[in-house]
Amino acid sequence: MSGFAQHNNQPLSGCTLWLTRPAAQVHKLQQQLEQLGARVLCLPMLLIEPVPLAGASKLRILDLDRYDLVFYVSSNAATLGLDAIFGYWPQYPSHLLNFAVGPGTAAVLENAGLNVRYPAERMSSEAMLALSELQEINGKKALIVRGVGGREILAESLQARGATVDYAELYQRKRPDYDSHLLQQQFEQAAPQAVVISSAESLDNLRHFCATDALWQAMPLFVSSERLAEHAHKLGNSRAIVMAGASDTAIISGLLASLTPASAGHSQGQ
């Protein structure tokens, strides 16, 4: 730990942090970290682009009342899903059991007046599958609202429990178009004490934009799950620190735990 000028009300004073979330999801976290004294650089490693509501996805929104369970796998899925649903449904079908991957996604649904179940401790499909309401679902019909492609563990696990599963795919994730030397330049200007990552695609894209192996290996990654830490290790970075999750609270807690003086002896995996 280098000698940052720490203050009680700004414990992250002197720290440079890189946030890699999509631009629309980063503002509140950036503000909170800046209030704690950090210098925050937003470098989105994913672009979220809505896709036209058409084909099978449109039919599934039109047939929403045929389902028993609806799963929203991200805040983007919740925002775009509700936009699509309320475009055709003046009132949300009251019998549906709604599930969110975590508290941030749940908040989007709750703000629309919906009841939602979600894992409070961890943001992941695995944590959502552990909810008590999903242990006996044989014969239920499930709709997963998500982006194009993505992990299949949720659908496969629901099917293994006897549910039928459909997708409504409402957006696509794309790699941003950065100059190949941008990260190297930013790193040289002010090396970050933490690079926050909460998805495998963001991690892959960060690796893509690291012009050299040395730059990639120097990245002080803070990831939201053990799965991402393992993925980073496979890509050649063994520095990843695992936070308690991908929520703003978990990220802030993880950064404070590793970047403040009390944690100096064990921060950054050094």
pLDDT value of position 262: 55
The sign one gets for the Cα dihedral 197, 201, 207, 208 is negative
Q: Mean pLDDT lowest for which of 155-159, 168-172, 248-252, 263-267? A: 263-267
* Bridge pairing between strands 39-42 and 16-19: parallel
Least confident of 35-39, 60-64, 146-150: 146-150
- Name, in order, each residue with C-beta under 8 angstroms of 234's C-beta and a sequence gap of 6 or more: none
Rounded CA separation 142/159 (Å): 9
The pLDDT, as a whole number, for residue 48 is: 94
Q: Considering the chain, what percentage of its residues have pLDDT values greater than 70? A: 93
Structure tokens at 140: 């239920």
Task: For 16-46+178-269, give the CATH class.
Answer: alpha beta
- End-to-end CA separation in angstroms for the chain: 9
Instruction: Give the pLDDT score at 102.
Output: 85
CATH 3.40.50.10090-classified regions of the chain:
16-46+178-269, 49-174
pLDDT at 186: 96
Closest CA to 218 of 189, 182, 187: 187
pLDDT per residue as tens digits for the range 180-239: 999 999 999 999 999 999 999 999 999 999 999 999 999 999 999 899 999 999 999 999
Q: How far apart are CA 157 and CA 257, in angstroms?
A: 34
| Residue written as token pair 């970290």 | 33
* Per-residue pLDDT reduced to its tens digit, 86-134: 999 999 999 999 999 988 899 999 999 999 999 977 777 888 999 999 9
- What distance in Å separates the CA atoms of residue 255 and residue 186, rounded to the nearest whole number? 20
Confidence of residue 21 (pLDDT cuts 50, 70, 90): very high
Cα 135 from Cα 189, distance rounded (Å): 51
In whole angstroms, what is the distance from residue 26 CA to residue 263 CA?
A: 26
Percent of the chain with pLDDT over 90: 79
Q: Distances in Å between the alpha carbon of 218 and those of 194, 197, 251, 256, 268?
A: 11, 15, 20, 20, 11
**Choices 3.40.190.10, 3.10.129.10, 3.40.50.10090, 3.30.70.100: CATH for 49-174:** 3.40.50.10090
